[in-house]
Amino acid sequence: MNGDIASRTTGPVPFVAMPRGAAALPVLAVVLLVGWFSVPTLASVVPAWRHYDYSHGYLIPLLTVLLVVVEWRRGPVSLTTPSLMGFGFFLLTVTTMVLAHAATTTTVAQIAMPLAWIGAVWALMGAGTVRRLALPLGSFYFATPIWHLAIDPLQALTISVVSASVRVAGLPVFVEGNFIHLPSGTFEVQGGCAGLGYAIVALALGLSSGVLHRCGWLRPSMLAGVALVLSMLGNWLRVLILVVVGHVSEMQHYLLTVEHGMLGWTVFALCVLLPVLFLDRFLQARERSTGGGVLPSRIGSVNGVMACAVCGVLALGIWLNGRLASAGEAAVTAPLRPGVEVPGWTLAAAWEDARLPTFVGATMQSASWYQDGHARVGAFLAHYAVQRQGQEIVFTENKPIGELAIVRRERKLAIESAAGRSVPFREIEVADPDGSVRLVWVSSRVGGIPVASEIGAKVLQAVAAIRGRRDAQVIVLTALCAKECTDARSRLTRYAAVGVDQLYEQADTFATQSWLSSRE
């Protein structure tokens, strides 16, 4: 095919070719827009790099860029085969990232971000190119704080191996949980002793060594696996050395009293770095004996339709991220306010015991005990003017059942309020430390829409945030059970029918007053 402009059809995708000399322009535009779109997610990743286990994170972006450049230059790159399936994958990952930020679940956005990068390559350059660039782009996962789930199993494995080793060595030890007791002192195998940082660096080392010296998946995967196993063995050796040194020196050695980080990286270099580099060189030598070479890189014509579609999706994502970022100042946990007047019920006392729900970062809270004759119900309201990460109605630190209660069973139900609205509740039967049993009813309102489930609340949070609403409220009602909880359920039903509307009105009044104050 001669000339500067080519035109043909590639599958079902309309092919609008661009001049070969201008092929780098749409690629550069996509790269810049991908980077811009990724800024909010990257901003949530960087703080984790101050933690010991992720202190290598500052180097990983440079490693990712290096691996991409090396793989790009290794052989021909064709941009004339866009993929509709790749575009669908790209659209899905971008949508996931936007919704994750809207729902303040940044971990999901962090997981989806490298996948979005891979999806952009897949959409614009096709399956052949994405198979080559997936590992280099995926290397950014080594800087993403998603590996903490491995700490507990690695810690337990370290304790088991080290305990067995010191017993074989004949040292007098007693293991209790994550404590290793010696006659001269006690070692606590903390989360940092799990070796997570060493494991992540080992995986990055193995994968990058494989990618740098040969395209494909087999060799990088093999080197990463070998590096991971060696890092675990090295970490066990490091902890074992510290235990033995502590026993011999009666816990007075420099490695224990001053610093033992250098020991860890020395063991890492000897047990992981050198063996992996030696194995990599050995495999290179074998491959050179079988021949092979590196093809010069080139860029063919670019599909203009797919490049515009990818850029359009990224531009929309950037606009939505900007819309979601305008949330005002962060809130602090507000002091408890007294409850509101509820028809047929009397404000009996402030709710201040251990059964009081905890909702972190609420803009306004109210909690009181209500009484109607012998019937007694606790009512709690938390209002969030703006939901943010760690300040939201669905958060691991929130405790709607109180600090020490134990969940026995759950079910869902709905109550019709006095205003004729159906209010969904999640009923939780709990046991308190004093042996009493009570029912806890939890209902939320996100962006003005009532919801009972936590998953539903997260979905509504994302949808409402995109619509421009970031507010949410949660109501928690509780009543003690007698022999059975039928009477407690009846009391909660009577209170909810008249009280829910009053509690939500209290939140709306507070929000209006706060808005008026901010305008003055």
Give residue-wise pLDDT tens across range 245-261: 777 776 777 666 666 66
So what's the pLDDT on residue 6? 37
**Quick count: other Cβ atoms within 10 Å of Cβ 22?**
12
Q: Identify the H or E element spanning 65.
A: helix 60-74
In angstroms, the CA 458 to CA 105 distance is 9
Give which of 114, 112, 123 is closest to 90, Cα–Cα: 123
Determine the average pLDDT of the residues in 426-441. 93
Determine the average pLDDT of the residues in 204-216. 76
So what's the pLDDT on residue 403? 87
So what's the pLDDT on residue 222? 82
So what's the pLDDT on residue 17? 43
| CB neighbour burial string for 367-378, b if at least 16 within 10 angstroms, e if fewer | bbbbeeeebbbb
In angstroms, the CA 274 to CA 266 distance is 11
Task: Among 293-307, 315-329, 352-366, 435-449, name the one with the lowest average pLDDT.
Answer: 293-307
Q: Identify the H or E element spanning 377.
A: strand 375-384
So what's the pLDDT on residue 9? 39
Contact in structure between 307 and 30 (CB atoms under 8 Å) = yes
Using alpha carbons only, what angle is made at residue 494 by residues 489 and 498, rounded to the nearest 5 degrees? 140
Pair type for strands 346-350 and 422-431: unpaired
Handedness of CA 400, 404, 410, 416 (dihedral sign): negative
CA-CA-CA-CA dihedral for 19, 25, 26, 32, to nearest 10: 180
Determine the average pLDDT of the residues in 222-230. 86
Determine the average pLDDT of the residues in 38-44. 94
Contact in structure between 476 and 426 (CB atoms under 8 Å) = no
Give which of 217, 13, 34 is closest to 116, Cα–Cα: 34
Q: Which residues contact 364 (CB under 8 A, 6 or more apart)?
A: 334, 337, 381, 382, 383, 507, 510
In angstroms, the CA 422 to CA 426 distance is 13
Phi and psi angles of residue 112, each rounded to the nearest 5 degrees, phi first? -80, -20
Tell me the pLDDT of the chain averaged across its residues: 82
3-state secondary structure of 299: strand
Task: Among 19-23, 101-105, 300-304, name the one with the lowest average pLDDT.
Answer: 19-23
Pair type for strands 375-384 and 449-451: unpaired
pLDDT surpasses 50 at 293: no
When pLDDT is cut at 50, 70 and 90, the band that residue 519 belongs to is: low
So what's the pLDDT on residue 60? 92
So what's the pLDDT on residue 157? 86
pLDDT tens-digit series, residues 128-164: 888 888 889 999 999 999 888 888 888 888 888 887 8
pLDDT surpasses 90 at 219: no
For 70, the token pair is 């090396």
In angstroms, the CA 428 to CA 421 distance is 22
Instruction: Name the more confident of 292 and 406.
Output: 406
In angstroms, the CA 441 to CA 443 distance is 7
In angstroms, the CA 155 to CA 423 distance is 45
Task: Among 22-26, 108-112, 171-175, 441-445, name the one with the lowest average pLDDT.
Answer: 22-26
Q: Which residues contact 88 (CB under 8 A, 6 or more apart)?
A: none
